[in-house]
């Protein structure tokens, strides 16, 4: 796995950041935060991000997770908190990508790319929703390094 692009390792580039407490029960036998805990933390960050940009206004569209890709970069440790930085990546006709990076003590621990699809958006994303997603995109992101096309999700 190649190292993530530099913008993925800079929490200040993301539009939304959430702090999470780590838990002793999330440790593996080696004393590191286990991979299942990483996934659960990213899921919680995604839900908080969606609430933060009020995507529930379009609850009738039914958002489905089509793909989740986690890349582990470093070991996480208890009891230090983790911060998850999240923003919207590329936006397709009915889908969009959420890009997140988990940090602990300033070190990037993992990245998570999630493709979401609005299953009941036969005519595409509503213009107002698209505007909300665009406002939450990473500024000056290299779109070629994270594309919804070819992700396995319908656009």
Tell me whether residue 145 is in a domain: no
Tell me whether residue 144 is in a domain: no
Tell me whether residue 107 is in a domain: yes
- Of 27-31, 41-45, 138-142, the range with the lowest mean pLDDT is 138-142
Tell me whether residue 142 is in a domain: no
The alpha carbon of residue 134 and the mean position of all alpha carbons in its chain are separated, in whole angstroms, by: 15
User: In this model, does residue 152 exceed pLDDT 50?
Assistant: no
User: In this model, does residue 88 exceed pLDDT 80?
Assistant: yes
CATH number at residue 51: 3.10.129.10
**With bands split at pLDDT 50, 70 and 90, how would you rate the model's confidence at 62?**
confident
Tell me whether residue 154 is in a domain: no
**Domain assignment of residue 22, given as a range:** 6-137
> Span 112-129, mean pLDDT?
91
Tell me whether residue 72 is in a domain: yes
Q: What percent of the chain has pLDDT over 90?
A: 73
Distance CA 144, CA 148 (A): 10
pLDDT digit string (tens) for 13-22?
A: 998 999 999 9
Tell me whether residue 133 is in a domain: yes
Tell me whether residue 132 is in a domain: yes
Measured CA distances, 68 to 12, 76, 116 (Å) = 23, 20, 9
Q: Domain total for the chain?
A: 1
Its pTM stands at 0.87
**With bands split at pLDDT 50, 70 and 90, how would you rate the model's confidence at 148?**
very low
**With bands split at pLDDT 50, 70 and 90, how would you rate the model's confidence at 151?**
very low
Cis peptide before 79 (omega within 30 of 0): yes
């Amino acid at each position: 796995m190649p190292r993530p692009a530099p913008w993925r390792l800079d929490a200040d580039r993301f539009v939304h950041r959430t702090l999470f407490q780590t838990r002793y029960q999330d440790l593996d036998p080696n004393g590191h935060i286990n991979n299942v805990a990483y996934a659960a933390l990213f899921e919680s960050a995604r839900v908080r991000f969606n609430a933060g940009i009020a995507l529930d206004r379009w609850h009738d569209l039914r958002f489905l997770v089509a793909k989740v890709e986690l890349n582990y970069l470093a070991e996480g440790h208890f009891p230090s908190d983790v911060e998850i930085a999240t923003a919207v990546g590329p936006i397709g006709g009915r889908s969009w990508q959420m890009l997140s990076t988990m940090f602990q003590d300033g070190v990037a621990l993992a990245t998570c790319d999630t493709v979401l699809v609005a299953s009941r958006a036969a005519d595409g994303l509503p213009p107002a929703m698209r505007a909300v997603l665009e406002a939450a995109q990473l500024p000056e992101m290299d779109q070629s390094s994270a594309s919804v096309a070819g992700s396995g999700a319908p656009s």
